[in-house]
Structure 1
Amino acid sequence: MWPVGRRQKGLLGIDIGTAQIKVVAVQGRGRVYRAVGEAPPGGIDNEEEMAAALAQVVEETGWQGRQVVSAVDGPRVMVRYLQLPPMPEREVRAGLPYEADKYLPVGTGDMVLDCAVLDPEPGPREQIEVLLAAVPRELALSYHRLCQRAGLELVALDIVPAALCRALAAETGKEEAIILDLGASSSQVVLVRGGRLLFSRRIGSGVPATRPADTSGEFNTLLDLPQEVRRSLEFYGSQTGRGVNPSRVFLTGGGAYEEGLIDFLHMELDLPVEVGRPYGLGPEYAVSLGLALRESRG
């Protein structure tokens, strides 16, 4: 979404989560570098320890480049899906600073904005679908400082839903599908069609990476997932007037390993459910892989 610097071939995707840092680079004919490490307490706000942890994880991959792409996530990152009159993307971008105030609950003065036309073809209501993303300027700058301290060059910031669609493009194919990304403290419901992002919704609950002795409360949280998925699809349909008919569900993130979750979601949603393993990697690498593929797939 947000270009930061000059791009070269071979990018490292960095996914900084609440519990873990995951990094992936893809070079040549599918040669993959990857590593995962523990994230220090305090997350991105703990720049000194996070930079040291990030540098160590990158070193473990054996990757020799410096240029990286990361993803911003969390409650401070605002993603909106707009219905606008048909117009070229350059006109959408030109009007963005003036239109964004209508759709964001805060002023745009200290925000970094970007947008993308998701579908240039007008829908049933003769409108085009546009994604608007906004992140506090200080948060964006903190990613830049973090990468500098780790000896890396940040060339772009992206959003998690876009990275997931990119990573699972081969798996979803031309289908309409749902991607459920289950992190340690939050999750994402992503609707994709033909590898293209249609809609996403962030849920403020996840699957903790470190489990206490009694884990029943954690699965109780996951019991709400089917309803959250249905709400997301219903909202998308009501906003766009488009029919929604996903053919399957892909699970990504560390929470995809949750025992019994596949069968539970299959029963509740009446859809095939599988763990997404793009490039043969584990589901926890989906976001970082999608970021690494940003250069080749846009």
Structure 2
Amino acid sequence: MLLNRHGFRCVGLDLEGPAIRAVLVHYRKNEITILGKAERPWPGQQPADLSREVADLLVELKARDVPVVVGVGGEGTFVRSLRLPDIPVREIDEAVRWELDVLLPKEDPESKYIIKHAVTGKKGEQLYVLAVAAAEEPLRQQLSLLAHQIPLAAADLRVCALWRAAMYMRARPEEGALAVVEALPSGLRVVIGEDNLQFARELPPETELILELRRTLNFYQSQYSTRVRRLLTSGSLVIPNLGIEEAAVMGEAPGQPWFGERSQPWGPEYAVALGLALYYFEEPRVDLLPADLKSKHRTPLAPRSRPILAAVAAGLFCLAILPGMTIYYRTAGRAMENELAALTPRVQEEQRIVAERRRLEEWLDVVQSFNLALPSRANIIEQATALPADTWLTSLEMIPAEQTASSPSSTTSGSTPQPAAKSNGGGKLPAIPDKILFQGYSLTATPVGVFRDKLASLPFFSGVIIKNIEWDAGLGAYKFALEAQLQTGGR
């Protein structure tokens, strides 16, 4: 989000040391102004007391709704300085994770770490990268209650804040490298660099401070081929003779400006708070704050950009490319029209095939709905399967069209069935039947009606009538005769 015309304010909050310190800065038109400072004694070990003190401190600075940046360091924080070739960001991420995997403890594999990196500078084809990992759960426990009381915007490394404060005070020597040291109960921090931060270390509190400081300076001078000519401290650490040309407390070296007015100097204890307040305005920066704890307040994403000039440049760029885009899209449109015209016959043929296939599928559904094969002549087996229970046939006769249905040529009584069709003899083909006469017996009268309905439902009969049904007392059953009229298509 770009800065508005009134600029942007930010509070740096230092929660380490014997007191809580905060610095309020204002940024507008590439100018940084320190508006004020405040401090409160450490309230105790209860997180609720700390939150109240911080809220009161912001009220004192008249910055209750100003985004706040806190410092992170000490136990659970791992820092590694890398020198990598000029590679894409994705490959930088992979290199950072591989390097930090060596540093992270393996005792608790379920511990989650927030892994970030910042490119602090470039020299030729070489990138200076600061890789950082912080244990997420301790960080969340430390800042969760505080995030509900103040507009917490970011959690930056203290080593980055030290370097930003030194650059703001123009502490870099004309030749050689600058080293800034902080010694607190939480540990020792050292940052070294020339035009940009090149090397940083985060050491635990039980470290032999002077010994590790000497080793760090010697390592940097041997690996980076640059002599450290100025050493500054942000705390009360007494620096022995380490072979450095200039060694002083931050803010008191020759040629450095004071933090505030010379009549009211602030002292080096505000260095980290000042560096945190410069989070959005100076490099480098690494945000380790979990996303769910971030404040919703507006923060600048590009503080040094000029919105009006950027908008004008974007408008001019659009006007410049508009004719070319018009020609391109017009040509592309014509090419697409030609391709569509060439494809039209094929599309029409495809549509015709699809329509024909749909028509055939509809006819297939109609045919399959009958669920039977349509024979050209009456199938005797099909008729037998239509018999209800307690019903049996004794005679089935094909009746030609010229013969009346009332005088069948062959009728058989009793339980022995006769042949199903009458032969004309004489070596001639039998006459084409017009009707079929079914005769038989049933123990009750109801199945006779059911049998008639089943025959009538068959597609090759146009009608079925009961010719005769009578009770045979000697046999104890009903004797019946059914006449089925064949469909014309069945001939």
Q: Deviations over 1:69-98 (max 9, x none)?
A: 111111211111234343133531366556
What does residue 54 of structure 1 align with? 54
Partner of 1:218: none
Is 1:168–2:166 an aligned residue pair? yes
User: Match of 1:93, SS?
Assistant: helix
Output the CA distance in 2 between the equivalents of 1:174 and 1:88: 32
How many Å apart are 1:142 and its aligned residue? Answer: 3.1
Work out the CA distance in 1 between the residues paired with 2:141 and 2:70. 12
Q: Deviation digits for residues 246-286 of structure 1, max 9, x if unmatched? A: 11111213x25xxxx3xx53x34342222212523311111
Contact 1:161 1:197 in 2 (8 A): no
Aligned residue in 1 for 2:200: 200
1:14 aligns to 2:16 (yes or no): no
Deviations 1:152-204 (A, max 9, x none): 1211111011101101103323651111213244332221322x222222344
Q: Contact between 1:71 and 1:159, CA under 8 Å: does it hold in 2?
A: yes
What is the aligned-residue RMSD (CA, Å)?
3.1
**What SS does structure 1 have at the residue aligned with 2:76?**
coil
- Mapped contact 2:111–2:135 kept (Cα < 8 A): no
2:227 matches 1:228: no
Give ranges in structure 2 of 5+ residues lacking alignment.
Answer: 252-257, 261-265, 284-491
C-alpha contact 1:89 1:117 (8 A) present in aligned 2: no
Equivalent pair of 1:120/1:129 in contact (CA under 8 Å): yes
Between the aligned partners of 1:111 and 1:6, the Cα distance in structure 2 is 31
Aligned pair 1:82/2:56, yes or no? no
Is 1:249 the counterpart of 2:231 in the alignment?
A: yes
In the aligned structure 2, how far is the partner of 1:33 from the partner of 1:143? 26
Residue type of the alignment partner of 2:155: L
Q: Compared with structure 1, are the counterparts of its residues 288 and 108 closer, same or farther at alpha carbon in structure 2 (3 Å cutoff)? A: farther
Deviations 1:130-171 (A, max 9, x none): 211111112332354233333x12111110111011011033
Q: TM-score, normalised by structure 1?
A: 0.75
1:233/1:244 contact within 8 Å kept? no
TM-score of the superposition, structure 2-length normalised? 0.47
For 2:212 and 2:104, the matched residues in 1 are separated by 22
- Relative distance call for 1:148 and 1:268 in structure 2 (3 A) is closer
Look up the SS of the partner of 1:92 in the other structure: helix
Relative to structure 1, the CA distance from residue 153 to residue 237 in structure 2 (aligned partners, 3 Å threshold; closer, same or farther) is same
90 and 279 in structure 1: CA distance in 2 versus 1, 3 angstrom threshold: farther
- 1:206-226 Cα shifts (integer Å, max 9, x gaps): 9xxxxxxxxxxxxxx9xx654
CA shift in 2, pair 1:94/1:72, >3 Å:
same
Q: Distance in 1 between matches of 2:230 and 2:97?
A: 37
Aligned mates of 1:236, 1:271 — CA distance in 2: 16
Distance in 2 of aligned mates of 1:144 and 1:178 = 30
Which secondary structure does the structure 1 equivalent of 2:281 belong to?
helix
1:201 is paired with a residue of what secondary structure? Answer: strand
The aligned runs of 1:147-162 (5 Å cut-off) are: 147-150=146-149, 152-162=150-160
- Within 1, Cα distance between the matches of 2:17 and 2:47? 14
Aligned pair 1:134/2:116, yes or no?
Answer: no
Structure 1 unaligned spans of 5+: 207-220
Aligned residues of 1:89 and 1:116 also touching (Cα < 8 A) = no
Q: Is the 8 A contact 2:58 2:64 kept in 1?
A: no
- 1:188 corresponds in structure 2 to 189
What residue in structure 1 maps to residue 33 of structure 2? 30
Matched residue, 1:177: 178
Contact 1:11/1:65 (<8 A) preserved:
no
Corresponding residue number in structure 2 for 1:114: 116
Q: In 2, Cα distance between the equivalents of 1:201 and 1:164?
A: 12
Take 2:274 and 2:126, find their aligned partners in 1: how far apart are those partners?
A: 32
Q: 1:80 to 1:57 in 2, by over 3 A?
A: same
Q: Are the equivalent residues in 2 in contact too, given 1:100–1:108 (CA < 8 A)?
A: no
Once the two structures are TM-superposed, the CA of residue 25 in structure 1 deviates from its matched residue by 1.0
Give the AA of the match of 1:88: P
Residue type of the partner of 1:279?
F
Is the CA contact 1:189–1:201 (under 8 Å) kept in the aligned structure 2? yes
Q: For 1:54 and 1:23, locate their aligned partners in 2 and report how far apart those are by CA, in whole Å.
A: 9
Bigger Cα displacement from structure 2, 16-25 vs 171-180? 171-180
SS at the partner of 1:296?
coil
CA spacing shift, 1:99–1:270, aligned 2, 3 Å: closer
In 2, distance between residues paired with 1:276 and 1:156? Answer: 25
Query: Would the alpha carbon gap of residues 33 and 133 (structure 1) be closer, same or farther in structure 2, given more than 3 Å must change?
Result: same
Structure 1 or 2, whichever has the larger Rg, is: 2
**Deviation of the 1:63 alpha carbon:** 2.6
Query: Larger relative CO (CA 8 A, sep 6+): 1 or 2?
Result: 1
Distance in structure 2 (CA, Å) of the matches to 1:132 and 1:173: 23
Which residue identity does 1:112 align to in structure 2? I
Answer whether contact 2:230 2:244 (CA < 8 A) is retained.
Answer: no
Question: Post-superposition shift, 1:111?
Answer: 0.7
